[in-house]
Each structure stands twice: as structure tokens, then as C-alpha cells.
Amino acid sequence: MRLFKRIFVTKEFGLITKDQTAILKGIGILAILFHNYFHWVIPSFGENEFDFSLARMEGFLGAFPASFPDTVNLMFSFFGHFGVQVFIFISGYGLTRSFVLKKTEWTDFFVSRLQKLYPTFLVSAGIFTILLFYNSSLLPGSEFLHQLWRKIALVSNLYPKEALSINGPWWFYSLIVQLYLLFPLVLYLIRRSPFLWLIILLSVSYILLGLVNPLLDDTGLNLWQNAPGHLPEFTLGVFLATRPKLKFSPFLYYGAFVVFCLSNFYVQLWPFGFIAVTLVVIGVFKFLASLRINRHLLPLRSAMVYYGNLSMFLFAIHGFLRNPFVKTANSLEQSWYTFFCAIVFLIISTVAAEGVRGIVSWFGKFNSVVFNRTGAFFRGLSWFFKPQIALVWGREWLMFLVVLLSLCLGEFFWIFQTHGLPAGWGWLAYDAISLDLVLAFRVFVAGYILFRLLTFINIKFATITWRILLTLFMVFSIVLIAFYRFAMVPLDEVVLSYSLSDMITISLNSVEGQWVILAITAGSLMLLLILYRYFRSVIHHGIFVWFVLLGVTIFLFNIRYLPVSSGYKTEGEYHLVVNKLVYFIDRLDQARIASGSLQTSDEVQKAIKEYRATNPDVHYTDDKYPFWHNVSNADVIGPFITKRSDRFPNFVFIIVESLGRDISGPNACRGNFTPFVDSLAVKSLYWPNFLSTSERTFGVLPALLGSLPYGRDGFAEMGDMMPDFFSLPKILKGLGYEMNFFYGGDPAFNNMSAFLQRSEVKIPLINQTVIGNEAPTSDSHALWGWNDATMFQKAVSFLGQKNIDTPRLDVYLTLSTHSPFDIPDQDSWIKKAEEQLASAKIDVRLKEELLNNIHIPAAFLYSDNALSTLIDSYKNLPGYENTIFIITGDHRMGDLPGVSRLSNYNVPFLIWSPMLKTTHTFKGVSSHLDVTPSILGFLKQSYNAVVPSEGHWLGNGIDTSTSYRCKKSLGFMSNSRSIDRYLNSDTLYANDAVYHIGEQLTETKIEDKQLVKRMSDRMNAFDEVGIFACDFNALVQGKALAGSGRVLELKKIHTDFEGGVDSYFKSQLSDAMAFSGVSSLCLNSSMEYGGLLQGLSISDNINSLSVSVSAKMFIKNAPEGKLPGLVISVIGSDQEVVFYKFLPLAKATGQPLPIGEWTDYSFFFKYDLEKLRSHGGGTIKVYLWNISKGDMWYDDLDINVTGE
């Protein structure tokens, strides 16, 4: 009867005593120890610990009946891991009882928990590392050390596939500390409303496990290895500790047992099995504890208490001791021997655990100093680590952390609202937060040093200074996030490539962006003011020490706060993850470092050799001009064109803004929104695998019309400093062509007008509104300038009125498909875009992305319609039947994320003409660089046109292979004006990784470190040779220019200042120092100017002026760090300054000339004299300005001035 009451009568749960806690721990640790041994030995079918598989349960049941040792093996192997639930429950219960009874501050309590965990953990990790070295005779590798530090930092469970790394059982450390951190919140809620919050917390946990955990499958993360997976057992412990008088019906335990049994068979019930088994174990234990213990069982009870007290040490050490026993047992495959090995494993582990306990005890004094007496730590460093200052800094840092994480999460939400997030966004958000946390802990250490130094002035001054910096950080971050939102690429060193007027133009054409940024910034500033006013949280001094240690560790191991882009599927994912301000600063720093890529002539020659080796079929003819080569002038277009007369054909280039293959052409991944272009493509010569050379418009004209290298920041960006070059328009000019460029915006943007003027292309229509000369009118609808229909109409009207009788080159660059996609009758086009998108068979995620940005496809539909009208209008112009139309995009649209590393450069390219014989689709890869050589070859072979037999073309003709192949070599310049990827045949190098490029430009990563190095060298050579050729006027061979009869030598100076010296230099002559001979020119502290080129008069028949200067220079000193500089001054005959430029003396790399040594100096300058002619001619002077009044000498002077 008494036993019946114990089994079936409701009774109070009561308290779990200290001895009972030890017994439960003993049961738990032995279950875990034997589980971690038996589940590696035969027979084993796995366990449903971190995921569910019915096959495991079926295998387990199918192994019965079994012998006693095999039964023990199977039971511990399959169910032993539930010992973890016992520990989690006891942790929640014990924390609550200790916290309530002692009424300890949580931070003190948390430090005490870490005190107990860390010494044992660190000693065990040290023993493990020593054993690893002993067994392998190799020092631990960097990957092992990184994994080990993440284990010690208790964050490994938050890294993909690292929870069970190094030593599997240690995954529990990261889990339990997560629960420690959640404990104050759980206890507060349970105290407030026990039953309600118990249900809510359990529900939240199971919802996360059911909805979020499946999304993390591909990331290598598992919530069952983190706090959400085991919060129910922990919360149950807290709940029961606060309510010891709660009465439990025995049927609750019976029901839990039923749920536990069923959870092994049904995946829907599996998540509830963990809390169910916890209730079963506690229920059985409470029942047994209520029985009178037989004296024969007392040794067993004492053993459980012993192992309970030893559990912490045994848990830490046993995992890596099992391997030899597992190997021995599996080698024999005898069940009794396996059982015997288990007992020996327990004994050895027990001895080892006692050893660890002894070591930890021996180091108790050290423990006490480091962990318990953190106040002594501060006193020892009281001059720097004052507790009150540390507390103030901790509060300020916590505000920084709140701002940092708020910006990160806010950015994800904003992108979700406007563009949608890519698949696997949960992993990307996790990665972004992790990287920001690394940044935060770096700031914690470095920021405290700055903060502490400022407190020597005044603590209030330090606080105000930090808050100003935090405010600036937030504002700049918002601006950069907003830039990313509108451009879908983070802002980087491209900002250095824009003039102030260009940046104003861009900002004025993003009206939506202005108001959004202002609204978000205003709201964020208000939030920051609230934080400054009411935020009072502080970091306990014990936690402060740990944060310092963590921050220092991050610095020592150089843990990155910027990810490696090759670790992401697309560059769009990488750009989403990075902290935009950190990325911006990092790229500016890289740009500074990259400016030193060409240091010596030997390095230039090495780069030229490397570049030419990648083009073995090209016959280079001059070592001084790295791109100069024989041109084959092969005709790849002629076979498809019917020649109707000997008159040269008209060429019409239509460059559609942002027209990429992702939104145009067959199999476009975002659907087809250019129906006219696509209908024309099937009647044309069409290249779907065509590539632009730049991520933005700045590169299209030099590549398409000149096959030119990119220089430092893009060829056209050099402006007046562009070197001599050949281009398609220049050569067509010599063939009698009339050439016009039509653009609805400001042609000075991106220096397009400078490039076109040098190419002798006219710009007959200027939108006076966008350049500020006229007020806006009804036909200037688009913010950037005329919309496409208006621009096309004005161009056709102009051409019709001119009635040009000579062959023409017409070049159009559209605007309407540029952000903000401002088009006439936008609502109507949006409706059409929605209808077309509804029927599009594309990826659901990409469809949702376009729906969120429906104005973008609407703009493409509008522009495509305007383009069809333009082609129809040409039918009414003279020479239509003899006209060849070329349509392409300048780059892919950047307002939506790219789908691959080449997608930003994949544009359609088609040639259509009334003279076309046949249509073809060519799958061979080509680029804009191949167009100019192809057209010139066509004119030479089909029309006997006189074209150069040598040239600097980077391309070698369009590939007309109808099957896929890739034989091209070219670099790609990103929006940041840096070449960051390179294609060589079918191999793409991007961000320190290489990819095989397959049909439809698919990418497959190649794991080959030697190939990565080789491709990196080739990309650098491509970049460096381009910079050299542009900076040193080494594109066009000198005799090629002179052969045209147009280059005049105006002034030539070559002197080493020995013997007869020109009177102009005599006042500076010095024999104190010389590079060659005994004399040189001196510019000392009493002289402000040094002579180079005396005033040279310019006659009216000169269109452009080229000046090259080279000399040996020795700078003795530079007061205030200011070097002398080169001054170029052009004065009109009316004495007005037409051009003035001061350039500090620097190497070709942009690095300042060194102090105290003779150095080579060279400089090239080219100036268009069109402005000078309006002043009635004038003079040019070149001289040195000793701006800081230092001392320098220069020798072996060469100056060459030519006119064209």
C-alpha cells in the first residue's frame, strides 16, 4: 500500500539536495562517458542527438536480442547522450537555488561560473595539444589553433561545422555558457509569471527549432548544439527550483515516458523527447530517493557522489582519451573485450581526471589572482585600468555595440524590403553579426586605450569625444548603407575617381535616396540621443577582464572582421555581409598600397614579359611600347554582310545603359524585358556570351571604340593627361567619316567628352539643362538628362536636317535605364512590367526581387520601345540600306545583386543591318575590346580601306564560333576603379580564387593554389602594363605618329650641365653634387623656383601639345614634409591663366620621391589646345616650385615638346 501511494499519489516536488545533485551528476557523467565510447565501437547505429533518423532506431531494435555486453553497448550508444539533459537541468536548477539563496549580483555569479569552467578546460586543452604533438611529432597547424581558440572563447558552436571539431564533447562548453547568459532573463520571467513564461519559453524554443533550424541545414550550423535546442530542459530546472512546493501528479511522469518512447519513432515528437526524458529521469530519481536505501547499495551511492563531484574534470578529459580504446575494441570485434575496454577507459579517465583536479588545485593561487581577484588586477595597473573609468568605458562600448548590431540588422531589413534577400540569408545575417562582433571586440581594446589617454585630460572630455566619434560612425555608416541600397555595391575607392561636380551630379539624381537617408539619419540620431540620456548598463569588472582578453586574442590571432569574398557563392552575398564603413576604409587603404605597384624599370619589364606571355599568338614589335604589335586585320564580319556598293557603310553604335544578359536575351535569369532587342537578335549576328570591361559606364567608350588599356582609374579618367592613342573614330576620320555622339546627359561626366574630343568625335547636341545653362523644360523629364525617346528624336532630327552625304559613325549612349529609372508615363510601363513578370518562368526569389523593384524592368521596357522607334526612324535617313547597327550594354545593371562573378560584365551584343546575309548566334566569348579590331578588319578586307597594320589593340577580333569556347585574356575594372578579376582562356581569377568558366558563363571553383598564384601574377601584369603605357605615353609607337606627318617637334632639351650651359640655367649651376660629371642644377632654400622649360610660344596650327620630362633628382630635405613640385602653366596671349597644375615630385607609382638619394624622375603631359585658341594662342611654362624652401639637385635633364 505504501509503495502504491508513492507510485500513484500526487505529492510535492520538493528540493534536490546537494548530495542528490552530486548523484544526478554522477549518473549523467557516466552515461556521457560510456556513450562517447560505445557509439564509436561495433555494433553502433548512431543516435538521434542532433538530428532525427528513423533508420537509426530501426537498426538499434534490429540488433536485439543481444548478449549482455552488446546490450550495454547498444543502450549507452543510443541513449547515453541523454546524460547531457541531466546536466542542463541540474545547471538551471542549481543556478537558481544559488542565485536566490546567496542573492548574488549576476555578473559576480557569472564570473564564478567561468572560474569553475575555465581552469579545468584550459588544463585539458593544454594536455590535449601536448598529446597531439606527441602522437604526430608535428606542431599544431594554424587551422587547429584557430579552432582551438574558438573552443576556448566558447564560440565554436556559432561557427559552421565546428561544434564537434577537435574534441567532440567540448561542444557542451559553448552551449552551457549561452544558457548562463540567458539565465537572468529566464529567471526574471519565471519569477514574474511561472506557468505562463514556462509555456512561452518552451514554445519559442520549439518554434525556432521547427522553423529556423531547417533553414540552417546548408550552413553547417545546428540549433540543437546551441541554446535554443536545450532551453526547455534548462527552463524546467529554473522553474522547479523556484517552486519546490509544486505538487506533481505521477501521471505527468508516465505521460513524459510515453512521449519519450514515441519521440524515437516520430520526427514530429522527436524535439519533445529531450524534455520528456529529463522528466522521466528526475521522476525515477525522486521515487528512488524516497525509498529506504539498502546498506548493500551504499557503495553504489557513494560512487555516484564521487563521480558527480569529479564530473567537471572527467567531462573535460575523457573525450580525447577514448581513441586508443576505441581502436583496440574495433580491431578485435569481441563484445566482452569491448566491455572490458570500456571499464579500463573509465579507470584511466578517472585517474586522468584526478590528475587534472590536482593540477587545477595546484594552480589555485594563480586562479585566484586571475579570476577571483580582478580588483587586484586593476590595482596593479591602477595608472591605466581604473575601475571607475573601465565602468564608464564599458557603458560607452555597450552603446557602440547596440548601434553596430542595429545598423547590421537594419541594413538586412532595408534590403529585404527593397530588393529581397538571397537564399540562405539566415547564414549571411549570422556571418555579418559575427564579423561585427569581432570588430566590436577589437574596438573594445583599441578604443579603451584611446579613451583612457583622453581621460588624462578629463573623463568628461573623453566621454564627449567618444560620443562624437560614435555619432560620426553611425552617420557615415548610414550613408554608406544607403549607397549600397541604391547601387547594390558598397562604396569604395571609386570616390577618389570622381570630381566634386561628378559626385554632386550623382547625388542630385538620387532624390529618393536623399530623403530616405535624411529620415533614417534623423531617426537614428534621436535613438542615439535617447541612448546617451537613459543608457545606464555597465560591464562588471570581471567581465571587463574577459572582454580585454578576448579582444587581445582577436588581435594576436588577427581574426578578420572582413570576410574573404571567395567564401561566398556570389559577390552580391559578400557585399551584403561586409560592414560598409569597414569595407570603405579597407578599400581606401588597399588603393593607397596598390599605388606602389610599379617601383622600378625591372619590375615594369617583368610585367611586360608576363603580359606578353599570356598572348603567345600576338607578334609584338617594340619593347618600349608594350602593347604595340602587328595587326592581322582579319575580317570576321564580312562573310555575313552583303556589300552593296564601294561606299563605306554607316555604323550606328547603340550603347544601352545597364543592359545586361540577366534581363535581356534567351534564358535571361531575371526574365526578358527587351522584347524588341530580342526580336532583332534572332534576325542578327548575336553574341550571348559577350563581356564589358568595366562595372560602370566609365570604361565602355575607350574599350568599344579604342580597345584601350584601363590606366589607373579608367582610360578616360586621365582627362587632359591621356596619352597618344589610336581609336576607331580617329581612323574612320581619315577615311572621310562624319562622327557624332548623342547623349541625353552631361557628356563631361566620366570625362567622356575629353575622350571623344581626342577621338575627333563631335557632340552636336548638348542638354543645356543638365549642365546648368538652362532651366528644366518639359522634354528634360529624366533627372540625368533627356529620356531615351527624346534623345533619339532630337538626334534623328539633327541628322535629317544636316543631310550628311559622307559615311557616318553615330554613337548613342542611353540614360533611361539608369537609376532612378525615371521615365515618362511610368505607371503604364510598370503595369506592363507586372504583366510580363507574372508569366515569367524564373526563380521565385528573383521574381520577388523584381516585384520589389518593378520600376527597373518597366524602364527597360520603355527604353526597348524607344530603341525600336529609333531603328524605324533611320529608315528615313540617307544611307539606311548601307548602315550597320551595333547594339550592346555598357555593363550589367548594378541596382540588383549579381548572380555570379562575371554577371556584372555579361552584356548582349548584336550586329544587325539591312545588308545582313544570314543570322547566327555565336557562343564564343568576346568582349568590347574585340570590336574595334573587327570593324577595321572588315573595312580593310571588304572595302580595301587603309587602316594601320600595327596597333595597341587589347582585343583581337570577335569570336564567331557557334559552339562555346573562351580564348580571351582580359581584366575587369570594378566600380572602385581597380582590376579585381581577370579572365585567361576559360579560367577566371577573382578575389584570391580561380574558377572554370563553362557554357553560359557558369562558374566552377578550382582548388589549385599554384594556379591561383599564376593567375594573380597575370592579372597584376595586365594592370601594371596598362598603367605604365598610359602614364608614360607608351601606347602608340613614336614613328607611327610621326609617319602621319602631323607630329611636330617644338622643343628638345638634353643636357647633363657640363660644358656649355644655356643661360636660362646658369643661375642654378652647382658643383656641390652631380649624378654624372661634376655639375648639376641646385634649388636651395633661398630659391623658390627652378627652371625646366622656359616660356614656349604655341602657334595656331597646333591642336594638342605633349610634354615629357625626365631627370635625375636628389632631394636633401623637405621641411614640414612638403616636397618640391612640378608646375605646368599655360598662359593665354591675353595673360589669362588657361591651365595650371602643381604636382608634388613623385615616382610613377605615385609614391613621393625619397629623401637623400639620387632617383629617376619622369613625367608626361598632354594638353588639348582648343581652350588656348580661344585666347589667341599663348605660352607654356614648366618649372619646379620649391614650396617648402628645401634643398635639392637635378641632373641629366631631358625635355621633349611635340605638337599635333
Tell the burial category of 875 from Cβ atoms under 10 Å away from its Cβ (0-12, 13-18, 19+): exposed
Q: How many other CB atoms are there within 10 angstroms of residue 730's CB atom?
A: 17
DSSP annotation of 965? B
DSSP secondary structure letters along 145-212:
HHHHHHHHTT-GGGSTT-TTSSSGGGHHHHHHHHHHHHHHHHHHHHHHSHHHHHHHHHHHHHHIIIII
Asked if residue 688 lies in contact with residue 910, where contact means CB atoms within 8 angstroms, the answer is no
| pLDDT of 745 strictly over 50 | yes
| pLDDT of 988 strictly over 60 | yes
Q: Quick one: pLDDT at residue 413?
A: 81
CATH code for residues 636-956: 3.40.720.10
Give the angle 1020-992-156 at the CA atoms, nearest 5°: 155
Give the angle 624-1129-1041 at the CA atoms, nearest 5°: 30
For residue 160, what pLDDT band results from cuts at 50, 70 and 90? confident
Average pLDDT over residues 954-978: 90
CA diameter of the chain: 130
Q: Quick one: pLDDT at residue 814?
A: 94
pTM of the model: 0.56
Q: Pairing mode, if any, of strands 1178-1185 and 1125-1132?
A: antiparallel
| pLDDT of 458 strictly over 80 | yes
Q: How many other CB atoms are there within 10 angstroms of residue 366's CB atom?
A: 11
Dihedral through CA 851, CA 856, CA 861, CA 865, nearest 10?
160
Amino acid at 545: V
Rg value, the chain, Cα: 38
| pLDDT of 811 strictly over 80 | yes
For residue 136, what pLDDT band results from cuts at 50, 70 and 90? low
Q: Which residue has the higher pLDDT, 677 or 1167?
A: 677
| pLDDT of 885 strictly over 90 | yes
Over the chain, what is the mean pLDDT? 81
| pLDDT of 239 strictly over 70 | yes
Average pLDDT over residues 539-567: 63
Domain residue ranges of the chain, discontinuous segments joined by + = 2-373, 390-594, 636-956, 1047-1203
Q: Quick one: pLDDT at residue 652?
A: 97
Q: Which residue has the higher pLDDT, 67 or 687?
A: 687
**Residue 989, strand partner residues:** 982, 994
CA distance 56 to 47: 7
Q: Quick one: pLDDT at residue 4?
A: 42
Q: How many other CB atoms are there within 10 angstroms of residue 613's CB atom?
A: 11
Average pLDDT over residues 1133-1154: 76
Distance (Å) of CA 853 to CA 419, 458, 819 = 7, 51, 11
C-alpha cell at 19: 548530495
| pLDDT of 880 strictly over 80 | yes
CA distance 1144 to 1190: 13
Which residue from 789, 854, 779, 848 is spatially nearest to 816, judged by alpha carbons?
Answer: 789
CA distance 958 to 635: 10
For residue 1015, what pLDDT band results from cuts at 50, 70 and 90? very high
Q: Which residue has the higher pLDDT, 498 or 1144?
A: 1144
Which residue from 839, 1000, 980, 834 is spatially nearest to 906, judged by alpha carbons?
Answer: 1000
Q: What is the pLDDT of residues 179-204, one digit of tens each?
A: 888 888 888 888 888 889 889 989 98
Q: Which CATH architecture has domain 1047-1203?
A: Sandwich (2.60)
Asked if residue 686 lies in contact with residue 924, where contact means CB atoms within 8 angstroms, the answer is no
Q: Quick one: pLDDT at residue 515?
A: 54
C-alpha cell at 264: 524515437
Q: Quick one: pLDDT at residue 426?
A: 73
Give the sign of the dihedral formed by CA 575, CA 579, CA 580, CA 582. negative
DSSP secondary structure letters along 1062-1121:
-HHHHTTEESS--SSSS-EEEE-TT-SEEEEEEEEEE-TT-SEEEEEEEEEEEE---GGG
Average pLDDT over residues 307-333: 84
C-alpha cell at 55: 533508420
Asked if residue 622 lies in contact with residue 1037, where contact means CB atoms within 8 angstroms, the answer is yes
Give the angle 799-802-808 at the CA atoms, nearest 5°: 55
First to last CA, the chain: 118
Q: Quick one: pLDDT at residue 100?
A: 67
Q: What is the pLDDT of residues 685-740, one digit of tens each?
A: 999 999 999 988 899 999 999 999 998 888 888 876 788 889 999 899 888 899 99
Q: What is the pLDDT of residues 381-433, one digit of tens each?
A: 555 566 677 778 877 888 888 888 888 888 888 787 777 777 667 778 877 88
For residue 536, what pLDDT band results from cuts at 50, 70 and 90? low
Distance (Å) of CA 367 to CA 195, 380, 542 = 40, 16, 13
| pLDDT of 601 strictly over 70 | no
DSSP annotation of 715? G
Average pLDDT over residues 1131-1155: 77
Q: Quick one: pLDDT at residue 8?
A: 46
For residue 56, what pLDDT band results from cuts at 50, 70 and 90? confident
Which residue from 232, 272, 273, 236 is spatially nearest to 79, judged by alpha carbons?
Answer: 273
Which of 74-83, 216-225, 536-545, 1028-1037 comes out lowest in average pLDDT?
536-545
Amino acid at 968: K
Q: Pairing mode, if any, of strands 994-997 and 987-990?
A: antiparallel
Average pLDDT over residues 1062-1091: 86
Q: Quick one: pLDDT at residue 524?
A: 64
| pLDDT of 237 strictly over 70 | yes
Q: Quick one: pLDDT at residue 655?
A: 97
Which of 62-71, 228-237, 627-636, 775-784 comes out lowest in average pLDDT?
775-784
| pLDDT of 1045 strictly over 70 | no
Bond into 43 cis (ω within 30): yes
CA distance 752 to 1014: 35
SS3 at position 810: strand
Q: Quick one: pLDDT at residue 294?
A: 58
| pLDDT of 225 strictly over 80 | yes
C-alpha cell at 383: 595608472
For residue 1042, what pLDDT band results from cuts at 50, 70 and 90? very low
| pLDDT of 55 strictly over 60 | yes
SS3 at position 811: strand
| pLDDT of 1054 strictly over 70 | yes
CA distance 1002 to 906: 11
